[in-house]
């Protein structure tokens, strides 16, 4: 199932409910491709994470690899900003 920014226009009170449904779908074994700015959710539920910049994949790996040891300078900058903003 392809999910593209499914929480972007939701009331903040509903975001958790939608993310719970995605977790349930994953638990059934369904393959999911998810585009999201919910970085904590991506880190906690993904098998593979890709970071895109200008439509190009600049980082790809396990959540641990991508979120704790990004190799590209651009991915490092992005994650530093996400962390500083409190979104991870």
Are 21 and 52 a contacting pair, CB within 8 Å? Answer: no
**pLDDT tens-digit readout, 6-20:** 999 999 999 999 999
For the domain that residue 70 is a member of, what is the CATH number? 3.40.50.300
Strand partners, 50: 60
Closest CA to 70 of 54, 52, 85: 52
**pLDDT tens-digit readout, 32-83:** 999 999 999 999 999 999 999 999 999 999 999 999 999 999 999 999 999 9
**Residue 24, domain extent:** 2-84
Q: What does the block give as tokens for 33?
A: 């491709």
**pLDDT value at position 88?**
87
How many domains in the chain? 1
Mean pLDDT, to the nearest integer, of 18-33?
97
């Amino acid at each position: 199932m392809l999910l593209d920014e499914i929480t972007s226009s939701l009331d903040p009170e509903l975001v958790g409910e939608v993310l719970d449904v995605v977790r349930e779908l994953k638990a059934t074994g369904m393959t999911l491709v998810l585009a999201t700015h919910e970085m904590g959710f991506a880190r906690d539920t993904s098998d593979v994470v890709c970071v895109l910049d200008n439509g190009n994949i600049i980082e790809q790996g396990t959540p641990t690899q991508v979120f704790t040891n990004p190799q590209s300078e651009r991915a490092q900058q992005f994650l530093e900003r996400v962390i500083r903003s409190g979104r991870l």
